[in-house]
């Protein structure tokens, strides 16, 4: 249990698997009360059971972060249950990789809606609470795809480039309220999302991202590590 995080409350989106699940369980182990959000109820309930094994309080809310009504309900339930929210982890996101000529409008709109609009809705929704209490942390799980171009990644990369721009501007807007905004940019992570043609033992693990989140959250209150890149040491 981490004394800096004990009894804090966090919302984690996309918490039902992969990076989101690893972050959720690490926060719970550190003594954080967690609100977990995802679209799939069965997976969400499974994570909720694991959180309770760590002795942490947990609220599971089925929600699609691209929908304003779902985000409003998520935040209202979180505050009603725990009184406040100290940490927001914007992790929900997905990618469909295809060349621009082969990308459908549906896939383009879907990635933009979740990867970018969802972060905007969740951040905007929680800011009044954090500004009122003069403290808080918003962590956006971005990607090295937000800094690097590659064939088939135009739309996904655009969402992550946009997320970095959003994070950098938001950080400047809210720092006077003692709110930290941190963008974490992993490379390929060993989840169902990533290309498993690579050696899965040599690429980044979900727990590596979770450990980075905890590192950022436990920095002294006077310090804000606003952007962190995570790469494998030797992927060959």
Is 225 an active-site residue? no
Do the domain assignments include residue 185? Answer: yes
pLDDT in tens, 34-79: 999 999 999 999 999 999 988 899 999 999 999 999 999 999 999 9
The C-alpha atoms of residue 72 and residue 16 are separated, in whole angstroms, by 20
Domain that holds residue 68: 9-230
Q: Are 138 and 90 in contact (CB under 8 A)?
A: yes
Q: Tell me if 236 is assigned to some domain.
A: no
Q: Supply the DSSP symbol for 205.
A: P
Of the candidates 227, 226, 191, the residue with the CA atom closest to the CA atom of residue 207 = 191
User: Of residues 156, 163, 179, 204, which has the active-site annotation?
Assistant: 156
**DSSP letter for each residue of 134-184:** T-EEEEEE--GGGT---TT-HHHHHHHHHHHHHHHHHHHHHGGGTEEEEEE
Torsion (CA) 92, 98, 103, 108 in degrees, nearest 10? 20
pLDDT digits (tens, 9 = 90+) for 164-196: 999 999 999 999 999 999 999 999 887 765 554
Please state the domain count of the chain: 1
Residue 221 has what pLDDT?
87
Q: What is the CATH number of the domain that holds 171?
A: 3.40.50.720
Nearest CA to 191 out of 23, 12, 11, 10 is that of: 23
What integer pLDDT is reported at residue 193 of this predicted model?
57
Residue at 121 is within a domain: yes
Q: 90 in helix, strand or coil?
A: strand
In a domain, 166, yes or no: yes
105-140 tens-digit pLDDT? 999 999 999 999 999 999 999 999 999 999 999 999
pTM of the model: 0.94
């Amino acid at each position: 249990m981490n004394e800096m995080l004990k009894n804090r409350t966090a919302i984690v989106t996309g918490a039902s698997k992969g990076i989101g699940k690893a972050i959720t369980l690490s926060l719970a182990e550190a003594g954080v009360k967690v609100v977990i959000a995802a679209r799939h109820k069965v997976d969400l309930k499974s994570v909720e059971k694991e959180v309770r094994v760590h002795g942490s309080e947990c609220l599971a809310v089925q929600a699609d972060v691209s929908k304003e009504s779902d985000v409003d309900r998520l935040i209202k339930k979180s505050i009603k249950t725990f009184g406040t929210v100290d940490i927001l982890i914007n992790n929900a996101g997905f990618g469909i990789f295809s060349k621009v000529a082969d990308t459908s409008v549906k896939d383009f709109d879907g990635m933009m809606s979740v990867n970018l609009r969802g972060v905007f809705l969740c951040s905007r929704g929680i800011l009044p609470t954090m500004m009122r209490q003069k403290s808080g942390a918003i962590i956006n799980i971005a990607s090295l795809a937000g800094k690097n171009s590659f064939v088939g990644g135009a739309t996904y990369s655009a969402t992550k480039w946009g997320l970095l721009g959003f994070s950098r501007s938001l950080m400047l807007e809210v720092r006077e309220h003692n709110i930290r905004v941190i963008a974490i940019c992993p490379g390929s992570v060993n989840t169902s999302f990533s290309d498993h043609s690579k050696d899965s033992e040599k690429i980044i693990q979900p727990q590596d991202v979770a450990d980075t989140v905890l590192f950022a959250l436990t920095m002294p209150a006077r310090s804000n590590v606003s952007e962190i890149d995570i790469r494998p040491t030797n992927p060959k």
